[in-house]
């Protein structure tokens, strides 16, 4: 069971830490994360000590409204903090990214719903899945919901969940798709997360059986995509960030951190690691290795440039109170996929350079490679889908393959 640290809750009026300060807090946790990473991978969940330290550092409240004591930071900071954490452990970076993304979703709901989630606990941890794999019936005051939602990252450590539900009329016909905020205590968690990588995210299945969800904790997804949300947007603009692009860009941070971790490991080992069946004393002496490492580093840099460009577009528009046009939103999603694509290419190059020893259980590079390979397949940042969406709009093709732009 995750413990709750006994500490004072900062006042909502306290100045929020800067983005640089939050990144420093994440970097300070890296030694602990590297130490716990093998156990996190083996146990398929974050350790209580890691969750407590993340909470103590305030890293679950990046996207919590300031009036509840949150930091209400920007997209760039979310990316950089989760990248810094993922350099220590990929699963930890991923869970922090997903929780902050879902906390951001909770902050788009009406005031009463936000009070329900954050009012007594600014360190609330919301997990969630959008897929409307549920049934719902309107009843007095809200909805009765039953369903199963797979892949809720950080599920064992969460206190709330935001889950997709269909909205139906009196005849049972689906009239809309919505998100519902549900206390985690009202959902059953099934241990279904048996995977090759990102094992420590504990992305398990949450199950609802005739759960009552009051009306104020149900929100239309198509409305949110168009920026029509009931929340007060707050002083920073964070809650005006374009909906679908935020979901894609917010998950690039852990991938960036995994790429940096792999580059660091391979370059450090190259100083002493020989190349079998050659006259080279070390890998670092080989022109072939030098060239390939440089290629990998440039691809990691490319990923950062695209992720940061996307974040800058989202943050700048939100701060101005402007709506991003459809083409830019599509390009932001393509940026996310392109960043992931470059990171995977870099990782594969680094594994090739490092050699067969990359896949030894004792080598952290095999865990980094597994984590990145699984994370890269998340539907929100699939490179092929992002490029198709962007290409259609560049060419004036009106066909839409998804509403999530």
What pLDDT score does 239 carry? Answer: 94
DSSP 257-305: HHHHHHHHHHHHHHTT---TTSS-SSGGG-HHHHHHHHHHHHHHHHHHH
- pTM of the entire predicted model: 0.95
Q: Which residues pair with 179 in a beta bridge?
A: 164, 219
Instruction: Render each residue's pLDDT in the chain as its tens digit; 405 residues.
Output: 333 333 444 555 578 999 999 999 999 999 999 999 999 999 999 999 999 999 999 999 999 999 999 999 999 999 999 999 999 999 999 999 999 999 999 999 999 999 999 999 999 999 999 899 999 999 999 999 999 999 999 999 999 999 999 999 988 899 999 999 999 999 999 999 999 999 999 999 999 999 999 999 999 999 999 888 887 766 788 999 999 999 999 999 999 999 999 999 999 999 999 999 999 999 999 999 999 999 999 999 999 999 999 999 999 999 998 989 999 999 999 999 999 999 999 999 999 999 999 999 999 999 999 999 999 999 888 899 999 999 999 999 999 999 899
pLDDT at 10: 52
Answer yes or no: are the C-beta atoms of 302 and 342 closer than 8 Å.
Answer: yes
- CATH level 3 topology of 19-119: Butyryl-Coa Dehydrogenase, subunit A; domain 1 (1.10.540)
Do 313 and 324 touch, CB atoms closer than 8 A?
Answer: yes
Q: Where are the domains of the chain?
A: 19-119, 126-220, 241-395
Strand order, beta sheet including 134-139: 134-139, 142-152, 204-214, 188-190
Report how far apart, in Å, the C-alpha atoms of 160 and of each of 73, 318, 344 are.
21, 26, 32
End-to-end CA distance of the chain: 38
CA–chain centroid gap for 365, Å, is 21
Round to whole Å and give the CA distance between 53 and 310.
30
pLDDT of residue 2: 38
- H or E, element range at 196: none
pLDDT at residue 11 in the model: 54
343: nearest Cα among 386, 383, 399: 383
Other Cβ atoms closer than 10 A to 121: 16
**CA 240 from centroid of its chain's CA atoms:** 18
The tens digit of pLDDT for each residue in 286-311 reads 999 999 999 999 999 999 999 999 99
Say if 19-119 and 241-395 have the same CATH topology.
Answer: no
Looking from the CA of 207 toward its CB, the CA atoms found within 13 Å total: 6
Phi and psi based region of residue 303 (left: phi greater than 0; alpha: psi -120 to 50; beta: remaining): alpha
How many Å apart are CA 152 and CA 235, to the nearest integer? Answer: 30
Under the phi-then-psi rule, with left for phi > 0, alpha for psi from -120 to 50, and beta for the rest, what region is 152? beta
What is the per-residue pLDDT for 269?
Answer: 97
221 is written with which tokens? Answer: 């997804």
For residues 60 and 52, is the Cβ–Cβ distance under 8 A?
A: no
pLDDT per position as a tens digit, 65-95: 999 999 999 999 999 999 999 999 999 999 9
Secondary structure class of 203 (helix, strand, coil): coil
User: Which of these, 61, 74, 67, lies nearest to 13 by C-alpha position?
Assistant: 67
Mapped onto helix, strand or coil, the DSSP state of residue 147 is strand
CA neighbor of 284 nearest in space, from 267, 300, 307, 259 = 267
Q: Please tell me the distance from the alpha carbon of residue 339 to that of residue 343, in angstroms, as a whole number.
A: 6
Query: Considering just the CA atoms, what is the radius of gyration of the chain in Å?
Result: 21
Topology (CATH level 3) of domain 241-395: Butyryl-CoA Dehydrogenase, subunit A; domain 3 (1.20.140)
| pLDDT attached to residue 304 | 98
Write out the CATH class of domain 126-220. Answer: mainly beta
């Amino acid at each position: 069971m995750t413990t709750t640290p006994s500490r004072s809750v900062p006042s909502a009026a306290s100045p929020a830490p800067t983005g640089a300060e939050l990144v420093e807090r994440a970097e300070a946790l890296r030694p602990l994360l590297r130490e716990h990473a093998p156990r996190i991978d083996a146990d398929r969940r974050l350790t209580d000590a890691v969750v407590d330290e993340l909470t103590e550092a305030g890293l679950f409240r990046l996207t919590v409204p300031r009036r509840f004591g949150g930091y209400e930071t920007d997209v760039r900071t979310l990316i950089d903090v989760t990248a810094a954490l993922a350099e220590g452990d990929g699963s930890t970076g991923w869970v922090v990214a997903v929780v902050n993304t879902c906390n951001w979703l909770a902050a788009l709901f009406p005031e009463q719903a936000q009070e329900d989630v954050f009012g007594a606990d600014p360190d609330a941890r919301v997990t969630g899945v959008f897929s409307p794999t549920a049934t719902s019936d309107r009843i007095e005051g809200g909805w009765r919901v039953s369903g199963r939602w797979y892949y809720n990252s950080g599920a064992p450590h969460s206190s709330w969940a935001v889950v997709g539900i269909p909205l139906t009329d009196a005849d049972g016909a689906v009239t809309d798709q919505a998100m519902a905020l549900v206390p985690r205590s009202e959902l059953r968690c099934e241990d279904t997360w048996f995977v090759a990588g990102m094992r420590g995210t504990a992305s398990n299945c949450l199950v609802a059986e005739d759960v009552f969800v009051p009306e104020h904790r149900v929100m239309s997804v198509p409305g949110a995509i168009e920026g029509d949300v009931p929340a007060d947007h707050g002083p920073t603009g964070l809650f005006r960030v374009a909906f679908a692009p935020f979901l894609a860009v917010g998950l690039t941070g852990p991938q960036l951190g995994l790429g940096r971790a792999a580059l660091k490991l391979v370059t450090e080992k190259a100083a002493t690691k020989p190349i079998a069946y050659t006259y080279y004393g070390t890998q670092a002496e080989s022109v072939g290795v030098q060239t390939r490492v440089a290629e990998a580093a440039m691809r990691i840099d490319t990923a950062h440039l695209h992720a940061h460009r996307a974040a800058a577009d989202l943050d700048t528009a939100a701060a101005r109170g402007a709506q991003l046009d459809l083409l830019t939103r599509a390009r932001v999603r393509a940026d996310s996929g392109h960043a992931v694509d470059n990171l995977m290419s870099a990782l594969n190059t680094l594994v090739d350079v490092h050699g067969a020893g990359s896949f030894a259980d004792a080598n952290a590079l095999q865990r980094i490679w597994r984590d990145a390979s699984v994370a890269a397949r998340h539907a929100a940042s699939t490179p092929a889908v992002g490029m198709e969406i962007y290409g259609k709009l560049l060419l004036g093709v009106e066909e839409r393959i998804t509403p999530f732009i």
